[in-house]
A and B are shown apart, each in its own frame.
Chain A
Amino acid sequence: MDLRLSSATATDAERSAVDALLGLPDTRWEGGDREDAADARIARTGAVQRARRTELLPVLHAVQKAIGWVSWGALNYVSLRLTVPPAEAYGVASFYAMLSTEPQAGRVIHVCDDVACRIAGAGAITDALRTQLGEHPSPSGACTFLDSPCLGLCERAPAVLVQRTGLDADLAIAPASPGHVPGLLAAGLSAPDYPEPVESIPQAAGPDRDKLRLLRRIGVVDPTSLAAYREAGGYAALDRAMDIGTQALRDEVTASKLMGRGGAAFPTGRKWSAVAEQSAQPHYLVCNADESEPGTFKDRVLMEGDPFALIEAMTIAAYATGCSYGYLYIRGEYPLATARLAAAIHQVREAGLLGGTDILGRGFCFDIELRRGAGAYICGEETALINSIEGFRGEPRNKPPFPVAVGLFAKPTVINNVETLLNVLDIVVDGGESYAAVGTPDSTGTKLFCLSGYVKMPGVYEVPFGATLRELLDLAGGITGSKRLQAIMLGGAAGTFVTEDALDTSLTFEGTREIGASLGSGVIFVLDDTVDLLDTLTRIAAFFRDESCGQCVPCRVGTVRQEEALVRLGRPSANGARGDDKALLADLAGVMSNASICGLGHTAATALSSALKAGLLDNAFQRADAVRTGAAGAKSATTSAEEER
């Protein structure tokens, strides 16, 4: 491909940021500036050159990190180095919220204003920042701020992520408060002492400590030391896996009836067998650590607290399915988990348990590459994730074909969630049958739940499948705030709102299905009756509008119309009639769930529909109408709701 670039050139700093990752260009074709006459006749094209496109997102990350934005000159240089047309590179750069294609301040403070943080005082942080920096901070200033979707720190809401240019790592701060603002804006911002992940596991300090399985090493085994991990029994599972061989290993996983924990609840054994049986080579393994479903933080706690276990589990999965290369795709907003995993991968590689050709002396070779997302919820969808790794826009693919047959680089690909993979360790050591003895016949093993909102001890909880919603609330110390339950968001923003009468639902795949809900990513977000649910739902509608990839009409336009209709619903209505907009919302829910390409569109209306169906917004509507009929006709619905608290 012959690239045609504009005259914008990269600065030295931009070039060295790119070269630091890719090495120096070795020909003029790739952006070198040699005057050698022979060099001028070298053209690098074809499959080999196009294959470099997979480096696109890492390189754009590097430029963003070094310069604070992706300039036209830098983009041109990246295009040259990777033989990607500049328009397409721009299409990719402009897809991600953590990359900026316009100059911006060197420090970007992302303030989470999502469901859990907005009821925990996120607004006050934004207000303080606005007071200090103004509504639209100058791009040439030191700091700017942006609202952010859930940062995966909901148990310590409200949360803030500081994205920094230059050598300093990004920082996550939670709980944050307006009191942090002067520090955030000051020049020498130092890294916080991150709370240890075990602090996010209330059970670890209680009588249930011994019952923990997936969480048992967290807070006990040093997450920064491979030696400590091995001393605690680490890598025994891989050893046993290799003893029993790939077929028996897959049989154990099938016998365990392990179901995917990423939201789609697909049987892992079936997925693994499907890939193992594909004759096309090579096979790829992808660990989906993009955890961005609002209210979800379990994978973060696992990765921060037990990174070696994930690496071992990925190695076992790769062995079982014949993969020699794996990608660990982690969301871009997880600085601590990313650092711990990078360090862990390094140690494991040094120890010859990754990267070599003879892991544990069994002639098996496997390596893992850590990839960071860049602020796009949709990249958690497995085929969008694949496109993102390949260097394309994170747009989901139409299925079929499924990734097990045609996945990453068009090869058979296993994609599993972090929690799913971690379960494999115990399955290997204890055997599939004994694993399946825990839980219910159709939902085996234990499950992690993310409790946040109005509960006494928010955090990650591990229980055998079958525990009820009520039991989980009790474990978390019960409802706080007014102590009167208004609703629970179950499964995430793509999940359902349930009320009091669902408290005895058994939290299993089948139990939730029975009440028309789903486990989703294990979110249990609790709202007391003071929370303005209309506000929560408006945030969720805005979330889907922001995170739609834009590919298909039902979701691209449907999420916009859904948000507009919801805003209208919250307005005072002349006669209390909201029929038109309710009908509109039902119509939108229909087309999005039936005709969208991917799960984002399919579920974008689920939470709102469930809340409307349960009558959860009726109070808000009445309040809005009361304002209209009352003396203070001009007041908005939100103010009146706030006053009632």
Chain B
Amino acid sequence: MTAGTRASKESVDGPANQDEGALQSGHRGRPSSGVESTAVRGASRRRLPIIASISRLIDVEIDGKTVRAPEGSTILDACAGLGVDTPTLCYSESLAPVNACRVCVVEVEGSRVLVPACSRRVEKGMVVSTDSDRVRHSRRMVLELLGSSVDMSLAGPDVARWNEVYEVDAQRYGPPAPASAAGERDRRRPGHHEAPDGLTAANVAQPVKIDDELYIRDYSRCILCYKCTQACGEDAQNTFAISVAGRGFDATIATEYDAPLTDSACVYCGNCIGVCPTGALMPKSEYDMRQDGTWDESKQTTTRTVCTFCGVGCNLDLHVQDNKIVRVDSPKDHDVTHGNLCIKGRFGYSHVHPAFPGD
């Protein structure tokens, strides 16, 4: 069996089969949901590591060049194999693709609309263009639409590069509208909105949510990539403390009724922080230093070590500035953690630092 078919087997057939029992014994004899829908979402998303040697290879044409890609891999993988730079925002190797941002779209011959490279699997004889006018236009527009509505200043060097490559002009939508009051965006009624005046560009600017000393949520920077909800939910933590709430442009990442994190189901694993691509979720330590103007990545070192709290063996990346741990991450490509940690590994480092000067 090839890795490709195994991937789809596990995500479609596996849980579906397990659920046969549930279907029969579902509430009041009704058909039932749950695992199966997870499987659907998984069907296009979850991927197993692809072992090229046991996968059937199929020929795909990308930008006029033929590549052999393992069956079950995505267009994004195939592009990477060719060294083609594909912008991605909502994609992460540790999470099932949600295909929401659409910045990775490519043109596939025979498809009326563009398709997301991050999730569409290669098919035999597929003809893909990654740099046509339509593709460039859509990528530029996605980046512009985000740039004009979200604070992308901490989204990293890749985004800055793509902004150049695709000649993004986020200013042409007008000056930004003033920031919303705290909580206002969390209470908008679905299906209703204030008519715009066209003078300013609507955006998601709002005050930072600070509920505790561990991490902050700055939804002015949120591109609604769904990564945090996946990391908190079925892809890693299974806590489901946060979800997308509301609808359309007024959709937000939220706890129920916008409750403070401290009153929510959050267990402070910080896995959402680890996947957030825009700095919307950030350790409080980092946030405070940025506010003080003391955060300086050029002065930081990163040390990989093993967490000492328990026997699981999670790897930690300790970011240290001025001899102090300022942030803890976990390597995404590590077999044990895939970037995930628990509250102890991510936030339990204060004992390393002397409590009193001179200790």
Nearest residue, chain B, Cβ from A88:
B243
Query: Is A131 in the interface zone, CB < 8 Å from B?
Result: no
Q: Which residues of B contact A55 (CB under 8 A)?
A: 27
Query: Is B18 in the interface zone, CB < 8 Å from A?
Result: yes
- Contact (Cβ within 8 A) B265 A86: yes
- Contact (Cβ within 8 A) B195 A567: yes
Q: Which residues of B contact A90 (CB under 8 A)?
A: 243, 245, 254-257
- Contact (Cβ within 8 A) A149 B191: yes
Interface string of B231-265 (1 = CB under 8 A from A): 00100001111111111111100111101000111
Nearest residue, chain B, Cβ from A602:
B113
A102 to B193, CA, bound (A): 16
Contact residue range for chain B? 35 or more
Which of these, B192, B223, B233, B250, contacts A553 with CB under 8 Å?
B223
Stretch at the interface among A45-53, A299-307, A417-425: A45-53
A193 to B295, CA, bound (A): 70
- Contact (Cβ within 8 A) A391 B33: yes
Query: Is B341 in the interface zone, CB < 8 Å from A?
Result: no
- Contact (Cβ within 8 A) B240 A88: yes
8 Å CB interface, A399-419 against B = 400-401, 406, 408-411
Contact residue range for chain A? 35 or more
A476 to B146, CA, bound (A): 46
- Contact (Cβ within 8 A) B173 A282: no
Interface string of B25-57 (1 = CB under 8 A from A): 111001111111101110110000000000000
Given contacts A48-B25, A565-B198, contact A550 B248 (CB under 8 A): yes
Given contacts A398-B99, A550-B244, A593-B113, contact A50 B35 (CB under 8 A): yes
Given contacts A95-B246, A97-B189, contact A590 B36 (CB under 8 A): no
- Contact (Cβ within 8 A) B33 A51: yes
Nearest-Cβ distance from residue B53 to partner chain A, whole angstroms: 27
Query: Is A228 in the interface zone, CB < 8 Å from B?
Result: no
Which of these, A46, A87, A397, contacts B255 with CB under 8 Å?
A87
- Contact (Cβ within 8 A) B100 A52: no
Stretch at the interface among A162-170, A503-511, A539-547: A539-547
- Contact (Cβ within 8 A) A409 B240: no
Stretch at the interface among A343-351, A519-527, A556-564: A556-564
- Contact (Cβ within 8 A) A594 B191: no
Query: Is B63 in the interface zone, CB < 8 Å from A?
Result: no
Given contacts A548-B247, A552-B101, A552-B102, contact A146 B192 (CB under 8 A): yes
Interface string of A40-75 (1 = CB under 8 A from B): 000000111111111100000000000000001001
Which of these, B32, B116, B223, contacts A48 with CB under 8 Å?
B32
Interface string of B52-90 (1 = CB under 8 A from A): 000000000000000000000000000000000000000
- Contact (Cβ within 8 A) B249 A556: yes
Query: Is A248 in the interface zone, CB < 8 Å from B?
Result: no
Q: Which residues of A contact B207 (CB under 8 A)?
A: none
Query: Is A1 in the interface zone, CB < 8 Å from B?
Result: yes
- Contact (Cβ within 8 A) A584 B173: yes
A66 to B290, CA, bound (A): 49
- Contact (Cβ within 8 A) B33 A94: no
Query: Is B9 in the interface zone, CB < 8 Å from A?
Result: no
Nearest-Cβ distance from residue B271 to partner chain A, whole angstroms: 15
Nearest residue, chain A, Cβ from B199:
A568
Query: Is B278 in the interface zone, CB < 8 Å from A?
Result: no
- Contact (Cβ within 8 A) A554 B243: no
Q: Which residues of B contact A571 (CB under 8 A)?
A: 198
A75 to B254, CA, bound (A): 15
A307 to B133, CA, bound (A): 50
A146 to B193, CA, bound (A): 11
Nearest residue, chain B, Cβ from A394:
B247
Stretch at the interface among B134-142, B151-159, B319-327: B134-142
- Contact (Cβ within 8 A) A87 B265: yes
Nearest-Cβ distance from residue B254 to partner chain A, whole angstroms: 7
A542 to B196, CA, bound (A): 9
- Contact (Cβ within 8 A) B35 A47: yes
Q: Which residues of B contact A549 (CB under 8 A)?
A: 247-248, 251
A22 to B240, CA, bound (A): 24
Q: Which residues of A contact B41 (CB under 8 A)?
A: 397
- Contact (Cβ within 8 A) B30 A369: yes
Given contacts A51-B32, A147-B192, contact A6 B259 (CB under 8 A): yes
Query: Is B127 in the interface zone, CB < 8 Å from A?
Result: no
Q: Which residues of B contact A411 (CB under 8 A)?
A: 16, 36
A4 to B142, CA, bound (A): 37
Interface string of B94-108 (1 = CB under 8 A from A): 000001111101000
Nearest-Cβ distance from residue A455 to partner chain B, whole angstroms: 28
- Contact (Cβ within 8 A) A392 B37: yes
Nearest residue, chain B, Cβ from A550:
B251
Query: Is A390 in the interface zone, CB < 8 Å from B?
Result: yes
Query: Is B110 in the interface zone, CB < 8 Å from A?
Result: no
- Contact (Cβ within 8 A) A542 B193: yes
A72 to B187, CA, bound (A): 14
Q: Which residues of B contact A3 (CB under 8 A)?
A: 265
Q: Which residues of B contact A590 (CB under 8 A)?
A: 134, 137-138, 141
Query: Is B214 in the interface zone, CB < 8 Å from A?
Result: no
Which of these, B26, B103, B198, contacts A567 with CB under 8 Å?
B198
A6 to B34, CA, bound (A): 23
Query: Is B342 in the interface zone, CB < 8 Å from A?
Result: no
Which of these, B23, B119, B239, B249, contacts A559 with CB under 8 Å?
B249
Q: Which residues of B contact A551 (CB under 8 A)?
A: 100
Query: Is A91 in the interface zone, CB < 8 Å from B?
Result: yes
Which 10 A-B pairs rank lowest in CB-CB distance, beginning with the nearest?
A: A51-B32, A50-B34, A97-B191, A85-B240, A550-B251, A591-B141, A91-B243, A567-B198, A410-B36, A4-B265
Known: A325-B30, A590-B141. 9 other contacts (CB 8 A): A4-B264, A47-B18, A48-B25, A88-B240, A95-B246, A146-B189, A397-B41, A553-B223, A561-B145
- What are 23 A-B contacts with C-beta separation under 8 Å? A4-B239, A47-B34, A50-B22, A54-B33, A85-B240, A87-B245, A90-B254, A95-B246, A149-B191, A376-B247, A545-B193, A546-B190, A546-B192, A547-B248, A550-B247, A550-B249, A552-B101, A556-B249, A559-B249, A560-B202, A561-B173, A567-B198, A596-B113
Identify the A interface with B (CB < 8 A). 1, 3-6, 22, 46-55, 72, 75, 85-91, 94-97, 100-102, 146-147, 149, 280, 282, 284, 325, 369, 375-376, 387, 389-393, 397-398, 400-401, 406, 408-411, 542, 545-554, 556-561, 563-568, 571, 580, 584, 587-588, 590-591, 593-597, 602
